[in-house]
DNA sequence: ATGTCC
């Protein structure tokens, strides 16, 4: 037996050496050449069956790894030209975000996409990007804050019946903000999501259950907030009479748990796609039918449910402190991937900072710390992959905002609108965001406005510089 | 977005 016999069977690279070494082993045991060649063909045909074989295990395990890599690289070259996609509010979107979306539309797994009017640059896929892929999921197509979401509770309380001081005190007592933060032991409350069996189904999830439990019911940093405000309905909807109500609006995500899930699977995806370079590097994907693809899908969906559980507890604590039950509650995730039929085909639709807006579907689109947010109803626009913006979108990056926006301008903006702010930073200044009215106007074909929320008392994490 | 490297 020599290398020629083995390469003739189709073994490549390191597999040649491993096959040869196994063959010599069998020869030494007196097995005939033709029998050995048949054994090698059998291992080749079904490596899984030989993973524990005394002679062929190393070869079998290597063949399996080769097959996985080949599977991951299947059709791996980028298209020369991006697939066409529609853009809403193009004049509000900078070139860099458009270029990121172009790169995403060149991936071999991409089938359709759209850019929302709040779009701006992110890692990999731009924020405000919607991307449909076939049989593959991109961790950075969902983003770091997996399951980041909104929730609104409309309360059976006259607006104005809760004074500013009381609202400030309620927010300080019943919400917690910031990286690594959880409720203190005596104030901690659990949630059924923490009892799901899913946590036991992956090593990574078992490992992160403690952190998730510590941080449940809290808000993060950056653009996350919890606020009291007035909710105005011009006509009866949501089971409510027209009028102005006291309401709570929150923006929160999956905290450290989701961030670590994102980090882990992004590394796995990048390892699988070492050939991806430049702007495409962060768009590395996982085949959905691979162990890692399934693992990400399971962890991502758990992070989505966990993020909504955080909102549940935020709203439960505040409602209970006021001694009321919400009249209506609305929520939606805007950083997640869904299985969705697109032109009759089931695809994976990534929304990274985009609100699901199927026909009739309710959603929440916030403005900024001192600008209105809107309850919207989707119109199911096919070219937008049934999506809308997730907010106003950044106009200035965090650093640019710190450098350009004077603190007194932010204070004046807040004062003009009668907004009281706890925490917050210049990087979250209203002046750093696009005008929400412009963004809503650009997507009138994607959503109808149902009602309007005006923030009055806002709590955020403390930014780099307080306002 | 995240105790910004499992």
Domain-embedded: residue A104:
no
Domain-embedded: residue A434:
yes
Domain-embedded: residue A127:
no
Parent domain of A394: 141-462
Longest Cα–Cα distance of chain A, Å, equals 92
A212 within 8 A of A255, measured Cβ to Cβ: yes
Listing DSSP states for A395-410 in one string gives SS-HHHHHHHS-HHHH
CATH number, residue A297: 3.90.1860.10
Listing DSSP states for A419-435 in one string gives -EEEEEBGGG-GGGB--
pLDDT digits (tens, 9 = 90+) for A130-173: 999 999 999 999 999 999 999 999 999 998 899 999 999 999 99
Q: End of a domain among A19, A48, A73? A: A73
A326 with A198, same domain: the answer is yes
A232 with A322, same domain: the answer is yes
A393 is in an annotated binding site: yes
Is the CB of residue A190 inside 7 Å of nucleic acid strand B?
no
* Catalytic residue check, A315: no
> What pTM did the predictor assign?
0.85
A63 with A182, same domain: the answer is no
pLDDT digits (tens, 9 = 90+) for A417-450: 999 999 999 999 999 999 999 999 999 999 999 9
Domain-embedded: residue A224:
yes
Domain-embedded: residue A467:
no
The tokens describing A390, both together, are 């997730």
pLDDT digits (tens, 9 = 90+) for A449-463: 999 999 999 999 986
Is the CB of residue A432 inside 7 Å of nucleic acid strand B?
no
- Cβ contacts of A400 within 8 Å, gap of 6 or more: A432
How many angstroms separate the CA of A285 from the C1' of B6?
21
**How confident is residue A5, by pLDDT bands cut at 50, 70 and 90?**
confident
Find the helix or strand (DSSP H, E) in which A38 lies: helix A33-45
**How confident is residue A178, by pLDDT bands cut at 50, 70 and 90?**
very high
A157 with A67, same domain: the answer is no
Q: Which residue is nearest to nucleotide B3 (CA to C1')?
A: A180
Q: Which residue is nearest to nucleotide B1 (CA to C1')?
A: A145
A67 with A147, same domain: the answer is no
How many angstroms separate the CA of A157 from the C1' of B4?
42
Q: Which residue is nearest to nucleotide B6 (CA to C1')?
A: A264
> What is the total count of domains within chain A?
2
Q: End of a domain among A73, A100, A130? A: A73
Domain-embedded: residue A15:
yes
The tokens describing A220, both together, are 């993060």
Is the CB of residue A366 inside 7 Å of nucleic acid strand B?
no
pLDDT at A13: 86
Q: End of a domain among A29, A46, A73? A: A73
Domain-embedded: residue A57:
yes
The helix/strand/coil state of A111 is strand
Task: Identify the bridge partners of residue A115 per DSSP, sorted by sequence position.
Answer: A87, A129
Averaged pLDDT score across all residues of chain A: 95
Task: Identify the bridge partners of residue A435 per DSSP, sorted by sequence position.
Answer: none
């Amino acid at each position: 037996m020599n290398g020629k016999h083995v390469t003739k069977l189709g073994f490549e690279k390191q597999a040649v050496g491993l096959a040869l070494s196994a063959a010599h082993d069998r020869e030494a045991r007196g097995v005939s050449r033709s029998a050995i060649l048949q054994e090698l063909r059998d291992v080749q045909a079904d490596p899984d069956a030989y993973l524990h074989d005394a002679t062929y295990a190393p070869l079998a395990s290597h063949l399996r790894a080769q097959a996985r890599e080949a599977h991951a690289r299947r059709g791996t070259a980028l298209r020369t030209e991006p697939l066409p996609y529609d853009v809403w509010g193009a004049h509000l979107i900078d070139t860099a975000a458009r270029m990121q979306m172009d790169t995403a539309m060149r991936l071999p797994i991409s089938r359709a996409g759209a850019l929302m009017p709040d779009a701006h640059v992110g890692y990999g896929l731009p924020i405000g990007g919607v991307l449909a892929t076939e049989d593959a999921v991109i961790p950075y197509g969902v983003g770091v804050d997996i399951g980041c979401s909104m929730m609104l509770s409309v309360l059976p309380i006259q607006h104005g019946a809760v004074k500013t001081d009381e609202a400030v005190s309620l927010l300080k007592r019943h919400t917690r903000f910031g990286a690594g933060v959880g409720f203190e032991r005596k104030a901690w409350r659990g949630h059924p999501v923490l009892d799901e069996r899913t946590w036991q189904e992956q090593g990574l999830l078992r490992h992160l259950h403690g952190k998730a439990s510590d941080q449940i019911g809290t808000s993060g940093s950056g653009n996350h907030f919890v606020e009291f405000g007035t909710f105005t309905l011009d006509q009866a909807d949501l089971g409510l009479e027209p009028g102005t109500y006291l309401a709570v609006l929150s923006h929160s995500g999956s905290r450290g748990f989701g961030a670590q899930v994102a980090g882990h699977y992004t590394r796995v995806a990048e390892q699988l796609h070492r050939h991806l370079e430049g702007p495409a590097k962060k768009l590395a994907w996982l085949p959905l039918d691979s162990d890692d693809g399934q693992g990400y899908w399971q962890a991502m969906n758990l992070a989505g449910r966990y993020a909504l559980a955080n909102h549940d507890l935020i709203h439960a604590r505040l409602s209970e402190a006021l001694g009321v039950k919400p009249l209506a509650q609305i929520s939606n995730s805007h950083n997640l991937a869904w299985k969705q039929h697109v032109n009759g085909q089931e695809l994976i639709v990534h929304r990274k900072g985009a609100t699901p807006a199927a026909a009739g579907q309710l959603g929440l689109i916030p403005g900024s710390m001192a600008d209105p947010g809107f309850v919207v109803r989707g119109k199911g626009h096919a070219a937008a992959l049934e999506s809308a913006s997730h907010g106003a979108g950044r106009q200035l990056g965090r650093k640019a905002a710190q450098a350009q926006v004077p603190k007194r301008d932010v204070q004046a903006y807040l004062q003009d609108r009668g907004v009281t702010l706890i925490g917050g930073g210049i990087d979250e200044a209203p002046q750093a965001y696009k005008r929400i009215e412009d963004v809503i106007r650009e997507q009138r074909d994607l959503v109808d406005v149902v009602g309007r929320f005006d923030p009055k008392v806002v709590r955020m994490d403390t930014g780099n510089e307080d306002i």
